[in-house]
């Protein structure tokens, strides 16, 4: 007996398969130091975001702008120039067709990472073919927590320790939980991060993903910013030993072994593998799995541990199968607690090969895509690695992890599109082109 049209439709829907999601390209602005003396003082946050969206389109000319199905942009403080539904406003300001929708998202430090995984879920389900996902944080315009009004129940009902609302205090708490992680260890790790980032920059491994940003300041005229402002190459352990510990007398967390307060924006282009093949877009990574986890807010830095365990379980992988780790360095103790949990040495060559946020900065909601950019570059450089992860801790007690597969690996399990693994044009855009 033949099926009715409605039954045929239901049968077709029930056989839907999850599609592969691929990371096509990622860019970011140079990161700046927050404050009146930083490179982005007087610059709007949404203008930084627009630079990134435009650059993705410039670098991938085979993508018709009308084929972008969604723009998801994260910010931790969604007011002022980071408000008004950032994904939609950034799409309009960047010149995308008005038919392209957009939305804003917030998961504090994991904002851009959540923008990626949220839209990736839509691609896998078949709701989207191509998306732009990213994040921005102008901590000079919007200091962390500015304008926030925490519910008084947090204090009156002792739902969390008051110290949990200060990220520096949570890092000191993590030191308490891991007494083997001394200040000497965190300072040594921080110095290594500065050195690795400077080495990667000198080798030209950082610049290809940066979008030049022109800024105008009274009395100074225009400046074209093409390099990150926060790094301090040449930093020594002796330099760091002299820094004060602002969160606790005789503490262990300092400005030298933590990420700074920064401004910057990032954006990634994601697609289904079949859409990438159709449009001739490069495949730089394939998304394997992702996971988020909650932990005690008082020790939020441990969040990447359970998130990674969940992501590994979802992927059917073990930690030993991960060949590269991009761990956001909010605090050195947070990275070292992750390494110690999994039995990985502080100086393991798989970890943050290009340095991390202690050197380059951490503009909160933007940082997830920076991790992805650096992992994609390392995949291109090292074809022996099949799987890598991007992971980070998240304020108020969370962790986020995404596992990626290297399309250059001999046993890559995704669909090869036949296009180059490099973006069509990787040199930074001129200000006029952006």
Using alpha carbons, select from 131, 72, 87, 135 the residue that is nearest to residue 108.
Answer: 135
How would you classify the pairing of strands 130-138 and 70-74? parallel
The two structure tokens encoding residue 75: 């910010």
Q: Is 362 a catalytic residue?
A: yes
Which H or E run includes 73?
strand 70-74
- Is 393 an active-site residue? yes
Length of the chain: 434
Strand partners for 137: 264
How far is CA 269 from each of CA 111, 123, 152, rounded to the nearest angstrom?
A: 16, 12, 40
**What is the C-alpha to C-alpha distance for residues 90 and 232, in angstroms, rounded to an integer?**
32
Residue 126's CB is within 10 A of a number of other CB atoms, namely 12
Quick check: is 52 catalytic?
no
Residue in 138, 142, 393, 408 annotated catalytic? 393
Q: What region, left, alpha or beta, does residue 221 occupy, with left being phi > 0 and alpha being psi -120 to 50 degrees?
A: left
222 vs 202: CA distance, rounded Å: 26
Q: Which of 109, 138, 175, 408 is catalytic?
A: 109
Q: What is the DSSP string of 93-146?
A: HTT--TT--EEEE--GGGHHHHHHHHHHHHHHHTS-SEEEEEEEEETTTS-TTT
The separation between CA 238 and the C-alpha centre of its own chain, rounded to angstroms, equals 31
- Annotated catalytic residues are 109, 362, 393
């Amino acid at each position: 007996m033949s099926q009715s049209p409605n039954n045929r439709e239901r049968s077709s829907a029930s056989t839907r398969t999850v599609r592969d999601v691929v990371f096509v390209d990622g860019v970011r602005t140079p990161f700046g130091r927050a404050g009146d003396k930083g490179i982005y003082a007087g610059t709007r946050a949404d203008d930084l975001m627009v630079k990134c969206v435009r650059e993705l389109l410039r670098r991938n000319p085979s993508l018709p702008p009308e084929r972008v199905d969604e723009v998801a942009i994260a910010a931790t403080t969604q007011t002022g120039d980071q408000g008004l539904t950032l994904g939609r406003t950034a799409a309009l300001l960047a010149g995308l067709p008005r038919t392209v929708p957009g939305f804003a998202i917030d998961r504090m430090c994991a904002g851009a990472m959540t923008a990626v995984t949220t839209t990736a879920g839509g691609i896998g389900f078949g709701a989207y073919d191509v998306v732009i996902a990213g994040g921005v944080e102008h901590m000079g315009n919007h200091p962390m927590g500015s304008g926030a009004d925490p519910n008084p129940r947090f204090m009156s009902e002792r739902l969390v320790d008051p110290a949990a609302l200060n990220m520096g205090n949570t890092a000191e708490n993590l030191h308490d939980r891991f007494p083997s992680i001394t200040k000497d260890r965190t300072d040594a790790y921080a110095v290594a991060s500065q050195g690795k980032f400077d080495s990667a920059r000198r080798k030209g491994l950082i610049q290809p993903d940066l979008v030049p940003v022109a800024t105008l300041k009274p009395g100074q005229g225009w400046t074209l910013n093409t390099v990150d402002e926060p790094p301090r190459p040449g930093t020594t352990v002796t330099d760091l030993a002299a820094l004060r510990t602002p969160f606790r007398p005789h503490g262990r967390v300092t400005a030298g072994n933590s990420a700074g307060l920064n401004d910057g924006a990032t954006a990634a282009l994601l697609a289904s593998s079949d859409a990438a093949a159709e449009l001739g877009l490069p495949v730089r990574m394939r998304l394997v799995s992702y996971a988020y986890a909650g932990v005690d807010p008082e020790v939020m830095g441990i969040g990447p541990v359970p998130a990674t365990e969940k992501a590994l379980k979802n992927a059917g992988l073990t930690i030993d199968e991960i060949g590269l780790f991009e761990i956001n360095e909010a605090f050195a103790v947070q990275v070292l607690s992750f390494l110690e949990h999994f039995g990985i040495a502080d100086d393991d060559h798989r970890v943050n090969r290009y340095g991390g946020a202690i050197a380059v900065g951490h503009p909160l909601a933007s940082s997830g895509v920076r991790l992805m950019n650096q992992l994609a570059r390392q995949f291109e450089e090292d074809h022996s690695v099949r799987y890598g992860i991007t992971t980070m801790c998240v304020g108020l007690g969370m962790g986020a992890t995404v596992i990626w597969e290297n399309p250059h690996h001999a046993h890559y399990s995704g669909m090869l599109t036949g296009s180059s693994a490099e973006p069509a044009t990787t040199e930074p855009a001129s200000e006029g082109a952006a």
